[in-house]
Structure 1
Amino acid sequence: MKQAIDERFLISPFLVFFVIHATQVGVGALGFQRTVMKEAGQDAWMAVLLAGLAAHGLIWLMYRLLAYAPSGGDIVSLHKHYFGRWFGGVLSAGLLFYYALAAFTVLQSYIEIIKVWVFPLMGTWQFSLLFLVLTYYAVSGGFRVVAGLCFWGVVIPLLTIFPMLFFPLEYAQYRNLFPMFDHSPIQLAQAANDMALQYLGFEMLLAYYPFLKNASSSQKWAHAANALTMLIYLIIMFISIIFYNKEQIKHITWPTLTLAKIPEVPFIERMEYIVISIYVLVVFPIITVSVWAATRIVKQLFAIQQRRSLPVLLACLFVGTLFFEEKSEMERLMEWTANVGVYLVAGYIPLLYVYVWAAEKVKKALQQKR
């Protein structure tokens, strides 16, 4: 299939592993246990597994869908090809809105953590301005720079933050895992639906697919990234179940971050400060990929260069952060973003694939009759 992007702007297929994993593990990893355990209790690890397996299926489906895009294109060219310029443009604009919303939600969530744990007296706008200036610098460098950030956003946290999670095993109560299989399929399905938000991020592939060398060969790396994400969430969930009891988990907003307080180092009194500082490498790649994807769609829809649309989008994100100060507002925003993301990957993408597949079948049948 003909590649529409100049080769010097492309990334190697194996880098998809880092881009997808970096966009999946974000702020939600610090507090997903409470919501999932509310429905499934000690069986919450099953919900983590079910949601991860569903993500594998959706990644496979996305690659099948993007294979129909003309000239190795992305979701925008596919929308235009099968729905026409105007209706296809409306669908792509909806995706643009979702990418911008995802960036805004991650930014706001991390700023809230910084304000609660580290700098409670500082305003939101200072943190927002700093992050968005750095985002402008990264995204203006192109997708290869963004992919490089994703690489370091995976490697450094895995070597620094992840090992800290095993310190609470010293105080583990393994009886908290029992009784197993004590919840109904409906409860597990609801918990898996709540867990689905944590696996979101792979849908960014719809935008950067043309920037992959031999894009179809990158699918194994995409599945490997999702498998690592699933393993990390399973480990965090198991440790949380055996460390916290059911009543404790109900009253802890960020259980993973609280676990980071367990390690004791003589010269560091508050270890969670170190975790929050390093976590910027986890959050920043998600923001940059989302913003890059949004500006990429703007370029395709309106023929506006990304360098010109980028400041406008970042200014909108900055203004938006000024209106979300209360915790209740943040919770509603995260819930709304989660619902939009789940409907996109679990509803719209499968329906779009069925439509495209049927359209191709009809097209081939008509050609054979001629």
Structure 2
Amino acid sequence: MHAKPAESAVQRMTAAARRPAAAARRLAARWGDSPRALDALTALSCFALMGLDLPGLAAADNSLNGPLAALVLALGAGTLLLRRRAPWASYLTALLFIGWLHELTLIQFALYSMGRYRGRRAAVLGTLGYIGYAYLLFNLPGWPVHKADTVSAFLGLVVPIGVLAAAVGMAAYRHDLVRELDSRRAEAAALQAVQQERTAVARDVHDFVGRELTLLTVRSEVLALRARGKAYEKDFDELAETARRAHLVLNDIIVARGERATTPGVDGLPALAEESARAGSPVRLTVDDRARSLSPLRQAAVYRVVQECLTNAAKHAHGQTVEVTVAADGTRLRIGVSNPLPPRGPLGRPPVSAGSGTASMSERVGSLGGTLTARRTDGAYEVVATLPLG
């Protein structure tokens, strides 16, 4: 009788223990996305490492007591807050610390910042300047105290510190460039997909509207012939001429390059579902008969949305059953496509996607007065598009 309350108490304690961890993860994520927060964390880390030398600094010949040494180190670490815009500030401060306090911690952060935010040339120049400056100090009378250790300390400590910090910074700079390039490529792919979809929509407009304008022109000319000698003959002639001009303008604006088959409509969805099933992703298709009363342009949009969703399902959820529903809802047509999301792969990462398919679908649906949303639900991915029925 008491097992259930005990279990509830354990669950409450577990949930209470998880909440701080979740809050910490959210805080870390926010900090990871904020450059200023990262700069502040870097400055604090540098100050903490330099703080390990506070007892030695207070006892050295530079006449700094503990609080004053802590203040000087804090000011030096604070220059790292400017490491993105002015990495030379921390670099020059680090050189001052080397000559005055014999402190090598700040120079590592400074050289890394120069390599990370100014690239290879600045990092190489900064490293050479640091090594030359340190070598000059090592050969001054009385610095360091043990002259016998000058060469070994210089080659074993000073040079590796500078080279390693600058090399890590240059590697991070290269990584940032590659990541930026990938982001630009993804944006370019999305824009290209949108542009291609606009072209496809324009060609559909040319195919469908051009056909209707041709019929209107022919019909107007027939009516004009029948009205010869009557009062409204001139009106039919003007109507035929207006239709011809509209068709010419349409041809001038939208130039169909090469031959292209007309996009299928709602009647093409069963064949699309069969093709998806043969590829390994079965489809449960439900189509409202009222969808067949849509204009050819809107039927083409329905076909394109379903086609793109089935392509995405085959790519990201291969083998899962896809639910496709095309139903009238009041004055609008609702296209719903959903599929379960498979468990993550062995690397634990979702498939890479630039999002160009969703962008192109949104462009086509939006151009016809509709809306489109794509989202992840509990264990599933769902795309919902709406189009006006009228």
* TM-score normalized with structure 1 length: 0.26
Which structure carries more relative contact order (alpha carbon 8 Å, separation 6+)? 1
State the TM-score, normalized to the length of structure 2.
0.25
The structure whose Rg is larger is 2
More strand by share: 2
**Larger fraction in helix:** 1
